[in-house]
Amino acid sequence: MGVVRPVVTIMTSCIDGIKRRYVLDGQHLITALQRLGMDIPYVTLYSEDLKEIIELIALLNASSKSWVLIDYIVAWKALPEKEDYKVLYNAIQTNDLTPNLTAICYGVYDSKDVSKAIKRGDYTIINKKKGDEILKNVCDIFGVLRGRNNNRAVIHDFVSTYVKWRYSVSNYKHEQFLNYVKDHSDKFLLLVATPEQTSKILLKFGK
């Protein structure tokens, strides 16, 4: 049985200044063929644009296997101009939230929109200082809710609505809101089941 797809490589000098061949897709295939003593079929692309190379890596891996969000963040943060991706990656590594929820805390995005922006390389942090504060506050809230039978869709909608609201108010009473969450922890996700319900509750804790 022959090999049905080739390894995809690229020749470039934009990584370290020396023209080299890099594997974009098929590293596991190379290892398997080497163990079997078989020839390695490959195609070669050429580019000196690092952004283009990263886009190719993301595209090829998205088609051959499903990349998770953190893979795109790691890829994009390799670009010098993608400082926001470096900030996002560090925040993910130091906080106990999913990449999606962490990313929402730093910008006014819906859950689906933030994933698309990250994958395209378009993700932007609005205000790092404000984002750091909101991220800490969201972690406090999840610390109270952890371990309960949580609905993922409701959680993402709640965080998205909460973050948008936080960016719109200057006077927020976090301790009071955290106490509210604690007092209603068993049914909190029912109370914030829709963005409208969440907004109505949040109005009590800031303006």
pLDDT, residue 108, reads: 81
Q: How many CA atoms lie within 13 A of 33 on its CB side?
A: 17
Q: How far apart are the first and last CA of the chain?
A: 68
Q: Of 56, 92, 59, which Cα lies nearest the Cα of 73?
A: 92
Percent of the chain with pLDDT over 70: 93
Can you name the residues that pair with 20 across neighbouring β-strands?
12
Phi/psi of residue 112, nearest 5 degrees: -70, -40
pTM: 0.75
Mean pLDDT of the chain: 86
CA angle, residues 68, 116, 119, in degrees to nearest 5 = 55
The answer to whether residues 12 and 20 touch, using CB atoms and an 8 Å cutoff, is yes
Q: Which residues lie closer than 8 Å to 154 by C-beta, 6 or more apart?
A: 189, 192, 193
How confident is the model over 91-143, as pLDDT tens digits?
999 998 899 999 999 988 887 789 889 988 889 998 999 999 999 999 999 88
DSSP for 49-75 reads -HHHHHHHHHHHHHHHS---HHHHHHH
Query: 184: left (phi > 0), else alpha (psi -120 to 50), else beta?
Result: alpha
Give the Cα separation of 87 and 90 in Å (integer). 5
Give the Cα separation of 49 and 87 in Å (integer). 23
| Consecutive 10-residue averages of pLDDT for the chain (207 residues) | 76 83 80 86 87 78 67 85 94 92 89 86 92 95 77 84 92 94 90 92 91
